[in-house]
Amino acid sequence: MEGVSNVLMHAFLFVSLYFEVFLLIAFLERHVDAKDIVPKKITRYPSVAVIVPCFNEERTIAATIRSLLALQYPKSKLEIILVDDGSTDGSASILQRFANRYSHVRFIQKENGGKHSAMNTAFNTTTAELIGCLDADSFVAPDALMEIVRHFENSSVAAVTPAIVVESADNPLRLIQRAEYSLSIFIRRAFALVDGVFITPGPFSFFRRSAILSVGSWKKAYNTEDLEMGLRLQKAGMRIENAPTARVATTTPATLRLLYKQRVRWTYGFLKNAFIYREMFGNPRYGALGLVILPTATLSIFAALYFAGYFIWSTAVWLLQKLVEVQVVGISVGVPRFELFYVNTQSLIFIVWMLIAITLALIFIGKTLTNERRLSWDIPLYLALYGFLAPLWLAGALVRATISRDASWR
Write out pLDDT tens, residues 290-315.
999 999 999 999 999 999 998 898 88
CA 127 to chain centre: 29
- pLDDT surpasses 70 at 220: yes
The values of phi and psi at residue 266, to 5°, are -60, -50
Q: Where are the domains of the chain?
A: 1-37+154-327+342-410
pLDDT for 407: 55
363-389 pLDDT tens trace: 999 999 999 888 889 999 999 999 999
236-276 pLDDT tens trace: 999 999 999 999 999 999 999 999 999 999 999 999 999 99
Q: Which residues have CB under 8 Å from 229's CB, separation 6+? A: 200, 207, 215, 218, 219, 221
Q: Which residues have CB under 8 Å from 394's CB, separation 6+? A: 263, 267, 301, 304, 305
- Percentage of the chain lying above the pLDDT 90 cut: 80
pLDDT for 130: 98
